[in-house]
Amino acid sequence: MNSTSSFNAEEHQKMLRSYFNGNGFNRWSSIYGNEKLSTVRTTVRQGHAVMMDRAFEWLQQLNLPDNSTVLDAGCGTGLFSIRLAGNGYNVKAVDIAAQMVNKSREEAISKGVEDKINFEVNTIESVKGTYDAVVCFDVLIHYPAEGFIEAFTNLASLTKGPIIFTYAPYNRILAFQHWLGGFFPKKERRTTIQMITDENMKKAMEQTGMVVKNREKISFGFYHTMLMYAERK
């Protein structure tokens, strides 16, 4: 990182940890759960579900060996980790927020799949290991370009096969919607979304030796993301 950079990884992690152990946990656990939501949050829930369905389809199409290991980086309340475990995968579920990891564990126990999941409180920049696949959903959207490249580089180094992830590609319409979102009542707002330019995404791919194999834009109401599947050249 050059000396002119204003990005401070430690401070950024501290901010994310504080948010997702506090208001962020309450907001996102309700979105990922079953309680009644406002129109805005309902579209986010629906869009997130569509994204996870497509990501799971891509993963299944890889025909990974039995008992393959998958890292769920930024597991949130465990929706995808539990789905993976229920379909026979061994899962490493990691999140920066202890509240999220605890909730994931509780949900896994209630579904009877806790023996297939190894839970860990950690950052996506620091998690270690080797996995048959890595998934990272709606996490990298909280990282500005430099932080994004650092986190993506670590995640890419951990997979023997694919990495399936989401990010927010830069475009003017999306930027306007985020600006407009600042006028919603506080309880309706999302955390700041960091959009990544094509140039920075290309840089991340070149730096990690990865190549994009598939991508799909997921848009549903106020949920907008790019789902990407990449693997080593």
> Which token pair is 221?
């109401």
218 within a domain of the structure (yes/no): yes
pLDDT digits (tens, 9 = 90+) for 150-162: 999 999 999 999 9
Residue 131 is part of a domain; what is its CATH number?
3.40.50.150
| Helix %, strand %, coil % of the chain (to 5) | 50, 25, 30
Q: Which two tokens stand for residue 97?
A: 């927020």
How many independent structural domains does the chain possess? 1
Least confident of 19-23, 135-139, 190-194, 195-199: 190-194
Cβ(150)–Cβ(174) under 8 Å?
Answer: no
Q: pLDDT tens digit string along 52-90?
A: 999 999 999 999 998 899 999 999 999 999 999 999 999
Q: Which pLDDT score is estimated for 184? A: 44
Which is nearest to 54 in space by CA: 216, 212, 210?
Answer: 216
Q: Which of residues 206 and 184 earns the better pLDDT score?
A: 206
The structure tokens listed for 85 are: 């475990």
The answer to whether position 156 is within a domain reads yes
* DSSP state string for 129-186: --BSEEEE-SSGGGS-HHHHHHHHHHHHHHBSSEEEEEEEE--HHHHHHHHHHTTS-G
Instruction: Note the pLDDT tens digit of each residue in 125-137.
Output: 999 999 999 999 9
**Secondary structure (3-state) at 8:** coil
Q: Is the pLDDT of residue 11 over 80?
A: yes
Read off the pLDDT of each residue in 200-216 and give the average, rounded to a whole number: 95
Instruction: Give the containing element (helix H, strand E) for 203.
Output: helix 198-208
Does 53 reside within a domain?
yes
Q: Is residue 4 part of a domain?
A: no
Residue 174 pLDDT greater than 80, yes or no: no
pLDDT at 31: 86
**Predicted local confidence at residue 175, as pLDDT:** 54
Please give the residue range of the domain that contains residue 225: 9-232
Is 1 inside a domain boundary?
A: no
Q: Are 231 and 59 in contact (CB under 8 A)?
A: no
Mean pLDDT for the chain overall: 89
Q: Is residue 3 part of a domain?
A: no
